[in-house]
């Protein structure tokens, strides 16, 4: 098994993709809107992914945050609100906001598990700074460590109770990004004490999460040369040390504009820096081939940890969706 999460091009695997994935045996897959048409189609696609890897317990990811970042929407699925909605409610009714964040994620998990999806790239624990690029914006639960940690924790609990594994992102904190990392590399010169007390704090509070995703961002007071994804200092001293995260660390998408170098170099740099898994999302075969050639199989310890997380998440729990939706709507009505 190679330490990589790959995307695919369309609504089903092509013959070329089936051969490639069978040969490379990636650790998992990630779905985007281009891969999602209907419940039946997605169940068939996730079934193909399990078949081609020979693993029933398989990490199949999606970014179903709500708001701007929603891969599954109407008419087949509910459209979850952006995390910022819960942050606004938290400012006036903390208990209601916590309950709503939990129920919202429980409903998301039910949708995902019914489709064979096992991992949601949620919650976003970044804290947007004044004047920062709007790439995070209302994807965040709030503008302070408390709201991010509390509501992010509620969202994480809802996913876990729904049988879906969460991913805390973008560790160690993307809220000070001065540019969109999809396009260019952001840099922050904030001092380490400020970062530790503010940006790192929500991640520290939820360091027990099974997965975390790195930020393609330079923290110049820790490492002037490398973004977190490529920085041994950030990963070892901050993410593993200061924050105390001991789960599986994956990179953000290696095809993002923040990164330079060819794909072999990007893959090697991320793994050498301390990422357990790398993420490549766009489904382009030439890029995936280059990445696969740069990687060596995962160590047994990582394979065992991944298998344990997937096994303990269980099957798709049976929940009374109508009752959960009614509970959610009741709290939302009271909070509005």
Cβ distance 153 to 206 under 8 Å? yes
What's the token pair of residue 201?
């704090």
Q: Residue 101 and residue 25: Cα distance in Å, rounded? A: 35
What's the token pair of residue 98?
């916590």
Q: Residue 59 and residue 61: Cα distance in Å, rounded? A: 6
What's the token pair of residue 78?
């509910």
Q: Residue 8 and residue 323: Cα distance in Å, rounded? A: 35
**Which residues are paired to 95 by β-bridges?**
none
Catalytic option among 111, 120, 223, 252: 252
What's the token pair of residue 7?
């995307």
| Whether 182 is catalytic | yes
Q: Residues near 276 by Cβ (< 8 Å), separated by ≥ 6?
A: 3, 248, 249, 250, 298, 302
Q: Which residues are catalytic?
A: 182, 252
């Amino acid at each position: 098994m190679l330490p990589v999460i790959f995307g695919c091009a369309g609504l089903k695997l092509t013959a070329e993709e089936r051969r490639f994935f069978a040969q490379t045996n990636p650790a998992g897959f990630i779905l985007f809107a281009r891969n999602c048409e209907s419940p039946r189609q997605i169940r068939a696609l996730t079934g193909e992914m399990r078949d081609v890897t020979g693993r029933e317990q398989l990490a199949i990811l999606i970014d179903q945050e709500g708001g701007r970042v929603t891969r599954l929407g109407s008419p087949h699925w509910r459209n979850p609100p952006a995390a910022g909605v819960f942050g606004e409610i938290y400012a006036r009714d903390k208990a209601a906001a916590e309950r709503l964040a939990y129920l919202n994620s429980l409903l998301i998990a039910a949708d995902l598990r019914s489709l064979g999806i096992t991992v949601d790239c949620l919650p976003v624990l970044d804290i947007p700074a004044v004047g920062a690029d709007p790439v995070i914006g209302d994807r965040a639960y709030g503008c302070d460590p408390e709201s991010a940690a509390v509501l992010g924790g509620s969202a994480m609990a809802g996913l876990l109770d729904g049988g879906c594994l969460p991913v805390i992102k973008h560790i160690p904190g993307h809220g000070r990004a001065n540019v969109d990392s999809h396009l260019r590399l952001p840099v922050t010169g904030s001092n380490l004490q400020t970062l530790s007390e503010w940006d790192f704090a929500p991640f520290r509070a939820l360091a027990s999460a099974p997965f975390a995703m790195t930020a393609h961002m330079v923290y110049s007071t820790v490492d002037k040369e490398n973004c977190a994804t490529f920085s041994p200092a950030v990963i070892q001293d901050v993410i593993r040390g200061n924050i105390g995260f001991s789960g599986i660390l994956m990179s953000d998408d290696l095809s993002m504009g923040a990164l330079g170098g060819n794909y072999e170099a990007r893959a090697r740099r991320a793994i050498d820096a301390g990422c357990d898994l790398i993420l490549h999302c766009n489904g382009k075969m030439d890029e995936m081939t280059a990445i696969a050639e740069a990687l060596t199989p995962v160590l047994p310890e990582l394979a065992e940890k991944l298998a344990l997380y997937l096994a303990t998440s269980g099957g798709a729990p049976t929940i009374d969706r109508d009752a959960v939706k009614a509970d959610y709507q009741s709290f939302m009505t009271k909070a509005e």
